[in-house]
Structure 1
Amino acid sequence: MLLARVEEYAERVLRPAALKTDRDGVPEKTVRDLRALGLLEPLGGDDERRVHEILAGACLNTWLVWAQHARVVKLVPRSDILLGVAVSDVRRLPCGHVTAERDGDGWVFDGTVSWVSGWGLNEALVVAGVTGDRTVVTGLVPVGPGLTGTPLALAAAGGSRTARVRLDRVRAESVLDVTPLDEWLRADAAGTADAKPHHFGLARTVLRELAAEPAARQVAETWAPRVERLRQRAYAGGEVAERLRVRVEIGEVLSTLTRALVVVRAGRGLALDDTAQLHARSALFLLVQAQTTAVREAQLGSTQTAGE
């Protein structure tokens, strides 16, 4: 029932508005709709995976705002608000990270978060800061005094309300996790190696649009089985090296398929009212989203090998 409701909503509301959302930003009404659908509640298993696919395929901007919340809602003892995530700057240590400092019986965060999606819609952020003794403290910070957001002008996912956010010695409302830095980085590296459901949601949409173009129907038919094989490999898990190979490959496949969609639509595919250019920019975004050093090295290595 949940998946049927989400799919109906995505087709009726999100997909037709995807170009407008990319231009104007995810509206507050969408958050209310997601709440009414039950998508601010913790999900799990196959249902959560399919929701990622459905939302990303219909509107990548909406997916990105929701995905931040879905990633952390299991850590927070409330699901009535939309959460934002501010944890990736831990990867930038020793420069550019948020610090965490003991303050009496609590913790204070200070620094600039380079990337928060859903800014203006989020009511609280899950923030990760690093202490002087190389411990990562993750806490819940209400959006309010002490937080200043500067919207980022992005060429892709421009409607995701992504901002750079300054935290000026903001006190955590609650502490969600305390983990040694090395352990945190290992877990982060393992999680970011994966090809994720949103890759396959976007791929399915592009294949669908290619199949609707008579000149590209055979292209869609040729590539669809490869996308499905990659999806099965991604969801099978396995060693980090294998998961990383799948992530690199699906990124290359998305680049190829979105390029084909632009090609088949010719000049009109570059118009801002055409989804071909939207999907091409979305594919570029997914190449760098959640990109660690290991992911970047694998991507560049694959590109180098292809040119030899």
Structure 2
Amino acid sequence: MTAAPHPLLAAARTLARDLLAPNAEQVDQEWVPAGHVEALRRSGLLGVGAPREYGGAGAPDAVVREVQEILAGACCSTWFVQTQHHSPVRMLAASQSPVRERLLRPLATGELLAGIAFAHVRSFPRVPVRATAERDGWRFDGRVPWYTGWGLNDVMLLAGVTDSDEVVFAFADAREQPGLRPSPPMRLAALTAARTVSLELDGLWLPGESVVLRTAREAFALVDLPRNTNASPAVFGVADAALRVVEEAGESETARALRSRLDEVRGRVYALAAHPVPHERIAERLELKTRAYDLMRAATTAAVVAGGGRAMDLDSPAQRLAREGLFLLVQGQTTDVRRAHLDALAQI
């Protein structure tokens, strides 16, 4: 947790308390409403880590992580929609491409909401989306397996891999158009409300000025490594919310024991996240990630057990948090993360 208060932490807690948490069970059974996105816009949270000179808050990473914890613990579906937004913002902030001046300010202020369509790059040597230079721009062909926030996002950051193993990242409008067709929304065991679809790309052409980054696949993999080996703040947010359910059920001793262990792992995870060389100490990062998963699973299981049969009601936060925890086990999963997690489970 951050040592000094930040205005956006108060904004996140107010939003979580007054809007997200009271409606989480209803949202879970329906869709993330546009009103939730509008509330995020008004709060300034969509620009929490964006540069101040472009209208963002420029908050420290510790504040960004805590905001994500708060939102995930209140309504994981809403968290998942808005968390996609921050990667395009960070990439634009680090870029000198012309698209930075066109999009960074409206994204930093929350005027526009962005989604991401590049997780499939991690599946290399498979290339689900191919990028080909064409007519002073780029043609994209293939299938994006997962795209979250369809119908809520204004723009998407799309990536494809060239024949020379270069990754091309470019912005596109998040709407059906020539060369881009969405599937019906997926029905998932958890976070169906986040409006996830797959995208069929058949000759989607984007102009050269929409490109924010071109980089060798190996270079992207190195930069991407800490993103999938560090435990997500959402894991701690969902675990913390589950422990509050346990406390409210009168099982304070169980909650206290689990919270002490959760806080210890969180501190170590965030210390590594701040390490000056993000692609070092990978084995330690993966070990802590699996420990965080274990504690989240214990916390959500405790919430279900403490609630008894009532926890199986769809209006119970315990079952929702347990399903959200299952989702987080595989969110952003790579082969290395899966292997480390399975190996840890085999030792139980």
- The TM-score, its normalising length taken from structure 1, stands at 0.95
- Give 5+ residue unaligned stretches, structure 1: none
Which deviates further from its counterpart, 182-191 or 31-40? Answer: 182-191
Match of 2:133 in 1: 102
> Secondary structure at 1:17's aligned position in 2?
helix
Q: What is the number of equivalent residue pairs in this alignment?
A: 305
Q: Could you say which residue in structure 1 is the equivalent of 2:180?
A: 147
Q: List aligned pairs for 1:1-308, cutoff 5 A.
A: 1-41=7-47, 43=49, 44-45=59-60, 46-74=62-90, 75=92, 76-77=103-104, 78-79=106-107, 80-95=111-126, 97-144=128-175, 145=177, 146-150=179-183, 151-173=185-207, 174-214=210-250, 216-237=251-272, 239-306=281-348
1:179 offset after TM fit, Å? 0.9
SS at match of 1:177: strand
TM-score when normalising by structure 2 = 0.85
Q: Is the 8 A contact 2:24 2:74 kept in 1?
A: yes
| CA displacement 1:67-100 (0-9 Å, x = unmatched) | 0002222325231211110111112234351111
Amino acid aligned to 2:269: A
Q: Give distance in 2, aligned partners of 1:172 and 1:232.
A: 43
Q: Distance in 2 between matches of 1:37 and 1:128?
A: 30
**CA distance in 2 between partners of 1:270 and 1:158 (Å):** 18
Distance 1:240 1:256 in 2: 24
Distance, in Å, in 2 between the alignment partners of 1:71 and 1:203 is: 24
Separation in 2, partners of 1:166, 1:122: 17
Where does the alignment leave 5 or more consecutive residues of structure 2 unmatched?
A: 1-6, 50-58, 93-102, 276-280
Q: Kindly state the Cα deviation for residue 42 of structure 1 after the two structures are TM-superposed.
A: 5.1
Cα RMSD between the aligned structures?
1.4
2: distance between equivalents of 1:274 and 1:18?
A: 10
Do the aligned partners of residues 260 and 36 (structure 1) sit closer, same or farther apart at CA in structure 2, a change above 3 Å counting? same
Deviations 1:225-249 (A, max 9, x none): 1100011001101521111111111
1:85·1:116 contact (CA, 8 Å) conserved in 2? yes
Instruction: After TM superposition, give the deviation of residue 30 of structure 1 in Å.
Output: 1.1
Q: Offset of 1:141 from its aligned partner?
A: 0.9
* Cα pair 2:190 2:323 within 8 Å, conserved: yes
Distance 2:286 2:307 in 1: 32
In 2, the alpha carbon distance for the partners of 1:262 and 1:187 equals 38
Q: Tell me the amino acid that sits aligned with residue 148 of structure 1.
A: R
8 Å Cα contact 1:141/1:170 also seen in 2: no
Contact 2:8 2:48 in 1 (8 A): no
Deviations 1:39-92 (A, max 9, x none): 232514222112101100100000000000022223252312111101111122
How far residue 271 of structure 1 moved from its aligned partner, in angstroms, is 1.2
Deviation of the 1:191 alpha carbon: 1.8
Q: Which amino acid aligns with 2:187?
A: A
Structure 2 counterpart of 1:37, which letter?
A: S
Identity of aligned residues (%): 38
Give the residue type in structure 2 aligned to 1:147: L
Q: Give the Cα–Cα distance (whole angstroms) in 2 for the partners of residues 245 and 204 of structure 1.
A: 20
**SS where residue 324 of structure 2 aligns?**
helix
Does the 8 A contact of 2:8 with 2:67 survive in 1?
A: no
Alignment partners' CA distance in 1, 2:226 and 2:71: 24
Q: CA deviation at 1:108?
A: 1.6
8 Å CA contact 2:69–2:234 kept in 1: the answer is yes
Deviation, structure 1 residue 37: 0.9
Query: Aligned partners of 1:252 and 1:152: how far apart in 2?
Result: 27
